[in-house]
């Protein structure tokens, strides 16, 4: 099915998933306007959210199944497999977050169904980011996502730590948006277009590969993205924000928001700047810093939530290695890693939400002592998540890391590959103690784990995540094939020239 | 070359003259019974001297935000209006253009209904 984006019908079909989800978000907002008092309203809102996510995923599937594509250059939105796969990823992350949130919101008395409305708006923003073929659409999606997530981060209004997290996130986010927007302005100044493919064509045909204005714009763009994905040295906000936000929101930020920023970054770099190779060294440098600093600082953490926050920074470093390769093998590895990372991080945070109370920021790793004898299944699930985060063979984390290594080796980035392996060894120093404490240390006192309870729906989410980690760890072929086919599609439009617009 | 800007110049002159006129006429025509309070700068009910670190009710911010949202809506309507009613004429895409703006308005209307129902427009 080839869509003509210059006529309304083609445009509507191309934007169908976003339109469906926006429609659901509106319905939910109206529902919430009238019904927002009881726990029953909260549950109904959660149910509507789940239905919205499922129907949107089905719409994406329909477009994917019909092999939707564009005639000519894509204007504003891309219509390719990369967009569908990332859409599924965002919808899946949001779906698991909803399952975890169901009981969490009731337990923590956060009885405001607006939570789900904000979640849906954030997902719409993410989908626009993953599918943006134009820097303006990218910025629009980024803002839509970010503003919703700023509010979600401070959703526990009575908790001063959550308020601090939200304010910090908002200020840093606004700052990063400024960088990004300035970068977009300079790129427009250098090339005369904001369309990603056309920027690529212009850079190629006008030989702008070392044009100062373009490079400064690209640099500012990278700074903006580095803030959003929490790459060192732009990561300072992340531990505090992840720590202060309610745990399901933290899980959503660490997976969905990060995946969206990465998805957009990857598309921008591979489609618009294949000829301006300067970004490869910058991204490689960011990757090295992020891997080293993230892993080393995570070693020193006592609190489980902060440890997971630094671990998510370290994983951003691994993903940056895949971005730095800039090949289609890199794209495939990147997508596989995003899927694996989303599953294991969401699983770990969901289990943390079951253990803790009042934001969970005070759960130390040592508090898990003896969990295996009291709650064997919980301990097993957490152990699987930790092993996968470490990259242990037999888990999705191993396969994903392996493919990033292959992609890095394929372009001769031996330094990146070596640092990835070394820092993964270091990460054993903070992932394995969690397992050791659970299985080898005795319960500190009787009934230390009585309050630990995973709700039924959160249990489904954790079970799905663990099953996914183990399944993709043993049989990754289907996922890999999908990722490889997808990776081929993201590339610059081949040779043809466009006159720069005079305005 | 600068001919199209003559109306702007006229507007500037008119505004300046208007402002001067208001001050001058009220200076001479208005009855004057000065009190210390009236002579204070701004005369808007706020004590002019004091600590700047005051807390303002969060309601002010809410009203300001809502104002901006609906103000932006009008700002977007202007360029849309110049295209819809202006030189583009009645092409085949006009229906779509209308529907697009209606969708935008409906989204804002949903937000408005929400704000209304959640009593964000009431001061107390």
Which has more pLDDT, B84 or B109? B109
- According to DSSP H, which parts of B30-93 are helical? 36-39, 58-85
> Under 8 Å CB-to-CB from A456, ≥6 apart: which residues?
A103
Give the pLDDT confidence score for residue A113 in this predicted structure: 92
**Residues sharing a CB contact under 8 Å with residue A421, sequence separation 6 or more, in sequence order:** A405
Q: A322 vs A81, A164, A413, A453, B28, CA distance in Å?
A: 19, 33, 10, 37, 77
Q: Do B118 and A36 touch (CB under 8 A)?
A: yes
Q: Please indicate whether, in this complex, the C-beta atoms of A30 and B110 are within 8 angstroms of each other.
A: yes
Sorted by sequence, the CB contacts under 8 Å of residue A426 that are 6+ apart come out as A295, A296, A299
Residue pair A331/A339 in contact (Cβ under 8 Å)? The answer is no
Q: Assign B30 a pLDDT band (cuts: 50, 70, 90).
A: confident
Name which CATH class applies to B3-117: mainly alpha
A169, A227 Cβ separation under 8 angstroms: no
Cα of first residue to Cα of last residue in chain B, in angstroms, is: 56
3-state secondary structure at position A2:
strand
Q: CA A291, CA A467: separation in Å to the nearest integer?
A: 27
Look up the pTM and report it: 0.88
**Residue A262 and residue A319: Cα distance in Å, rounded?**
8
- Give A-chain residues touching B116 at CB under 8 angstroms: 33
Torsion of CA A472, A425, A325, A265, to 10 degrees: 70
The interface predicted TM-score (ipTM) is 0.82
Please count the other Cβ atoms lying within 10 Å of the Cβ belonging to residue A246. Answer: 26
Is the dihedral angle over the CA atoms A398, A400, A405, A406 positive or is it negative? positive
Tell which residue, A478, A470, A469, has the closest CA to residue A342: A469
Contact B95, B85 (CB under 8 A): no
Tell me how close the Cα of A259 comes to any Cα of chain B, in angstroms: 27
Could you give the CA distance from residue A98 to residue A116 in angstroms, rounded to a whole number? Answer: 8
Which residue is listed with tokens 């070596």?
A418
Instruction: Give yes or no for a contact between A273 and A200, defined as CB atoms under 8 angstroms apart.
Output: yes
Q: Which residue of A has its CA nearest to B99?
A: A8
What's the rounded Cα separation, in Å, for the pair A128 and A180? 16
- Chain B interface includes A26 (CB < 8 A): yes
User: Nearest to residue A246, comparing CAs of A67, A68, A111?
Assistant: A111
The label of the residue with tokens 């006192």 reads A445
Q: How far apart are CA A217 and CA A219, in angstroms?
A: 5
Q: What part of A 35-64 touches B (C-beta under 8 Å)?
A: 36
Kindly state the tokens that stand for A5: 């984006």
Task: Write out chain A residues lying below 8 Å of B111, CB-based.
Answer: 29
> What's the gap between Cα A78 and its chain centre?
19
Of B99, B107, B118, the CB nearest to A33: B118
State yes or no: pLDDT of B27 exceeds 90: no
The predicted pLDDT at position A287 comes to 95
pLDDT at residue A360, rounded to an integer? 62
Residues in chain B: 124
- Chain A interface disruption, residue of B114, B116, B119, most A CBs within 10 A: B114
Residue A483: CA count within 13 A, CB half-sphere: 25
Q: Which residues of chain A have a pLDDT value below 70?
A: 356-361, 488-503
**Residue corresponding to tokens 């997530």:** A149
**Whole-angstrom Cα distance, residue B26 to residue B21?**
8
- A499 Cα distance to chain centroid: 36
Check residue A3 and report its DSSP letter: E
Say if CB A269 and CB A323 are below 8 A apart. yes
For CA atoms A450, A451, A452, A457, the dihedral sign is: positive
DSSP readout, A265-330?
A: HHHIIIII-SS-THHHHHHHHHHHHHHHHHHHHHHT--BHHHHHHHHHHHHHHHHHHHHHH-SHHH
- The alpha-carbon gap from B3 to the nearest alpha carbon of chain A, in Å, equals 23
Res B56: pLDDT: 79
Contacts of A34 in chain B (CB under 8 A): 117
Residues of B in contact with A8 (CB under 8 A): 93, 96, 99
Mutate to test the interface with B, among A4, A29, A31 (most CBs of B within 10 A): A29
Tell me which chain B residues have a C-beta less than 8 angstroms from the C-beta of A32: 114
State how far the Cα of A60 lies from the Cα of A299, in Å rounded to an integer. 40
Say yes or no to pLDDT of B68 above 70. yes
**For A10-149, where are the E strands, in sequence order?**
69-70
Condensed to tens digits (0 to 9), the pLDDT of residues A85-122 reads: 999 999 999 999 999 998 888 888 888 899 999 999 99
Name B111's Cβ contacts closer than 8 Å, sequence gap at least 6: A29, B69
DSSP state of A494: P
Q: Is residue A267 a contact partner of residue A334, using CB atoms and an 8 Å limit?
A: no
Q: What is the DSSP string of A376-389?
A: HHHHHHHHHHHHHH
- By three-state DSSP, how is residue A370 classified? coil
Contact status, residue A329 vs residue A337, Cβ threshold 8 Å = no
Q: Over the stretch B52-66, which tens digit does the pLDDT of each residue have?
A: 787 878 888 888 988
Helix ranges, A356-450 (H):
371-374, 376-390, 396-410, 414-440
Query: What pLDDT score does B42 carry?
Result: 67
Tell whether the torsion through CA atoms of A53, A55, A61 and A64 is positive or negative: negative
Question: Following CA atoms A291, A293, A296, A299 in sequence, which dihedral angle do they give, to the nearest 10 degrees?
Answer: -100
Cβ-defined contact of B114 to A36 (cutoff 8 Å): no
Considering only alpha carbons, which residue of chain B is nearest residue A23? B107
A26 contacts B113? CB cut-off 8 A = no
Element spanning A180, H or E: helix A160-191
Distances (CA, A) of A357 to A13, A352, A371, A452: 45, 10, 16, 9
End-to-end CA distance of chain A: 34
Structure tokens at A143: 């803002």
Q: How far apart are CA A123 and CA A78, in angstroms?
A: 17
Please report, rounded to a whole number, the percentage of residues in chain A having pLDDT higher than 90.
64
Cα dihedral sign, A127-A343-A252-A236: negative
Phi, psi of A70 (to 5 degrees): -110, 150
**Averaged pLDDT for residues B33-40:** 78
Q: What is the pLDDT, as a whole number, of residue A208?
A: 81
Q: What is the pLDDT of residues A33-58, one digit of tens each?
A: 998 888 899 999 999 999 999 999 99
């Amino acid at each position: 099915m080839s869509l003509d984006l210059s006529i309304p019908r083609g445009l509507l079909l191309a934007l169908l998933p976003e339109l469906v989800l926006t429609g659901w978000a509106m319905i939910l907002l109206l529902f919430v306007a009238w019904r927002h008092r009881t726990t029953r309203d909260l549950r109904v809102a959660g149910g509507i959210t789940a239905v919205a996510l499922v129907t949107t995923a089905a719409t994406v599937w329909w477009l994917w199944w019909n092999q939707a594509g564009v005639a000519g250059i894509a204007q504003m939105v891309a219509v390719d497999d990369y967009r569908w796969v990332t859409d599924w990823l965002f919808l899946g992350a949001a779906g698991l977050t909803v399952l975890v949130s169901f009981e969490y919101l009731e337990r923590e008395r956060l009885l405001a169904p607006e939570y789900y409305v904000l979640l849906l708006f954030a997902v719409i923003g993410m989908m626009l980011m993953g599918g943006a073929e134009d820097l303006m659409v990218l910025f629009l999606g980024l803002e839509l996502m970010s503003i919703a997530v700023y509010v979600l981060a401070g959703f526990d209004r009575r908790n001063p730590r959550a308020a601090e997290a939200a304010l910090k996130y908002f200020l840093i986010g606004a700052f990063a948006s400024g960088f990004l927007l300035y970068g977009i302005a300079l790129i427009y100044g250098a090339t005369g277009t904001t369309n990603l493919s056309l920027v690529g064509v212009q850079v190629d045909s006008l030989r702008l590969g070392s044009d100062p204005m373009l490079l400064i714009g690209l640099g500012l763009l990278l700074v903006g993205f580095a803030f959003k994905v929490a790459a060192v040295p732009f990561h300072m906000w992340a531990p505090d924000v992840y720590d202060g936000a309610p745990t399901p929101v933290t899980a959503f930020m660490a997976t969905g928001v990060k995946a969206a920023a990465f998805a957009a970054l990857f598309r921008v770099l591979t489609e618009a700047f294949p000829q301006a190779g300067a970004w490869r060294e910058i991204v490689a440098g960011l990757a090295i810093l992020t891997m080293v600093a993230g892993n080393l600082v995570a070693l020193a953490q006592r609190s489980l939530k902060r440890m997971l926050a630094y671990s998510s920074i370290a994983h951003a470093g691994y993903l940056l290695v895949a971005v730095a390769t800039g090949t289609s093998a890199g794209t495939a590895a990147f997508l596989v890693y995003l899927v694996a990372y989303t599953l294991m991080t969401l699983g770990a945070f969901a289990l943390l939400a079951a253990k803790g109370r009042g934001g969970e920021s005070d759960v130390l790793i040592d508090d898990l002592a003896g969990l295996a004898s009291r709650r064997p299944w919980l301990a097993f699930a957490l152990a699987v998540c930790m092993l996968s985060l470490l990259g242990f063979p037999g888990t999705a984390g191993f396969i994903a890391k392996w493919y990033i290594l292959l992609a890095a080796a394929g372009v001769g980035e031996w330094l990146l590959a070596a640092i990835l392996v070394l820092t993964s060894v270091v990460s054993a120093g903070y992932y394995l103690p969690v397992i050791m404490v659970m299985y080898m240390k005795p319960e500190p006192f009787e009934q230390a784990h009585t309050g630990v309870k995973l709700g039924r729906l959160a249990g489904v989410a954790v079970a799905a995540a663990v099953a996914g980690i183990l399944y993709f760890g043993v049989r990754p072929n289907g996922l890999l094939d999908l990722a490889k086919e997808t990776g081929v599609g993201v590339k610059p439009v081949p040779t043809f020239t466009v006159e720069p617009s005079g305005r | 070359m600068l001919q199209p800007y003559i109306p702007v110049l006229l507007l500037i002159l008119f505004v300046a003259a208007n402002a001067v006129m208001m001050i001058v006429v009220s200076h001479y025509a208005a009855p004057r019974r000065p009190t210390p309070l009236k002579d204070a700068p701004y005369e808007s009910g706020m004590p002019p001297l004091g600590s700047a670190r005051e807390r303002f009710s969060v309601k002010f911010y809410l009203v300001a935000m809502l104002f901006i949202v609906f103000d932006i809506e009008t700002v977007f309507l202007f360029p849309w209006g110049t295209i819809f009613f202006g030189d583009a004429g009645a092409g085949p895409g006009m229906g779509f253009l209308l529907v697009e703006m209606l969708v935008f308005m409906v989204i804002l209307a949903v937000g408005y209904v929400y704000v209304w129902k959640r009593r964000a427009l009431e001061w107390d």
